[in-house]
Amino acid sequence: MIIKGAAIKSFLQKPDPSLRAILLYGPDVGLIKENAELLAKTEVADLSDPFSVVEIFAPELKSDPARLGDEASALSFGGGGRVVRVRQAADASTEIISSFLEGETPSGAIVIIEAGELNARSSLRKLFERAENAVAIACYSDDARSLPDIIRQTMTPHNLTVSRDAMALLVQSLGADRSLTRNELEKLALYKGSPGEISIDDVRASLSDAAATSMDDVVFSAASGNFTKLDSALEKTFDEGINAIAVVRASTRHFQRLHLARSEMDNGKSLEDALRSLRPPVFYKYVDQFKSQLRIWPSVRLARAFELLTQAELDCKTTALPASAMCHRALIQIAQAARSGRR
């Protein structure tokens, strides 16, 4: 079975006890970890208890295929629930996990299978999507729709609110990995120190430059037609653990801002006034590049960029090809379009 959309939140809080196992997969490693812990806590309060929580790396099951069933059926020392987490699962584990799903569902135990990106052809993903006693949940990176809720959810316990401009900058800068997002937000709350409203200056002062800077380098290089810098920036971004879908979405947000400013210009505003209308404002060190891009990206060419990025995100999620290759191809095509606009 597949669980998606709004149903995921309620399921994580109260999973169906009749299920034999739950598969968490996708590009956002931090979100997979967060969801796995939420599920585990529905059975076990202390996840550090070695008698109640067992972690198995999927490759270990090759030499001992029966271990998964044995661990799931074992009684927790002192009673109570039991959690079995299988890490680094992949298609190589499909046969073993398939055999496990054929057994009786253990009472008081939850089995969580954690995998990375699995395309639509993945045998492990298909196994869970078709099973009646198991479910698959995709864990994709946060985007402009989900990030505001995550930000408010993290700041509320600190009695903090977020200004409109600060929210826009956070949404623009975060989202590649749920764990990194949470860490940056907690750091921001600590920086602010006392209850009140977080300003855009607070965000700029607190936010780690590393991920945001490398992502900015990627999108600005692509939109400017700088092939050499694009390749090096993209390689650095992937080396930092940022996934392809997050890069595609960051690029989409950048082109949305170009589109907003370009629309203002098409309606009669000057380039400077169109630039000033953006929220959050363009970071000072990128202002000149942004102005240059507004001159080479008319509305028709921007529409083509959106088509390329939309298709790239779809390809990253559905094809058997590496997501990084799909992302790189789309950005190269965008850089080529930018070069054409300079002629």
222 and 315 both lie in a single domain: yes
CA distance 343 to 326: 27
Q: What pLDDT shows up at residue 10?
A: 92
100 and 172 both lie in a single domain: no
Q: Are 87 and 56 in contact (CB under 8 A)?
A: yes
242 and 287 both lie in a single domain: yes
> Residue range 270-286: average pLDDT?
81
- pLDDT over 90 at 159, yes or no: yes
Which of 157, 182, 207 corresponds to the end of one domain?
207
247 and 263 both lie in a single domain: yes
CA distance 26 to 178: 12
- pLDDT over 80 at 284, yes or no: no
Percent of the chain scoring above 90 in pLDDT: 33
Residue pLDDT, tens place only, 217-227: 899 999 999 89
75 CB-side CA count, 13 A: 3
- pLDDT over 70 at 206, yes or no: yes
| pTM of the predicted model as reported, rounded to 2 decimal places | 0.64
Counted domains in the chain: 3
- pLDDT over 60 at 209, yes or no: no
34 and 51 both lie in a single domain: yes
Q: What pLDDT shows up at residue 210?
A: 47
Flag whether 214 is in a domain: yes
CATH number at residue 179: 1.10.8.60
Query: Do the bridges between strand 109-115 and strand 82-89 make them parallel or antiparallel, or are there none, so unpaired?
Result: parallel
80 and 11 both lie in a single domain: yes
Assign 146 a pLDDT band (cuts: 50, 70, 90). confident
221 and 274 both lie in a single domain: yes
Assign 334 a pLDDT band (cuts: 50, 70, 90). very high
CATH number at residue 326: 1.20.272.10
> Residue range 189-211: average pLDDT?
81
201 and 251 both lie in a single domain: no
27 and 97 both lie in a single domain: yes
92 and 166 both lie in a single domain: no
270 and 317 both lie in a single domain: yes
CA 283, 288, 290, 294 dihedral sign is: positive
56 and 153 both lie in a single domain: no
> Residue range 329-340: average pLDDT?
90
CA distance 336 to 329: 11
- pLDDT over 70 at 243, yes or no: yes
- pLDDT over 80 at 23, yes or no: yes
Flag whether 69 is in a domain: yes
Flag whether 22 is in a domain: yes
Flag whether 116 is in a domain: yes
Which of 207, 226, 242 corresponds to the end of one domain?
207
- In which order are the strands placed within the sheet that holds 134-138? 53-57, 82-89, 109-115, 21-25, 134-138
Residue 341 DSSP SS3: helix
Which of 186, 207, 228 corresponds to the end of one domain?
207
Flag whether 174 is in a domain: yes
CATH number at residue 27: 3.40.50.300
Whether omega before 280 lies within 30 degrees of 0, making that bond cis, reads yes
CB atoms within 10 A of CB 319: 14
**Residue 63 belongs to what domain range?**
7-138
Flag whether 2 is in a domain: no
Flag whether 322 is in a domain: yes
Flag whether 1 is in a domain: no
For the record, the structure tokens of 133 come out as 């006693």
CA distance 227 to 154: 38
Least confident range of 20-24, 78-82, 135-139, 247-251? 78-82
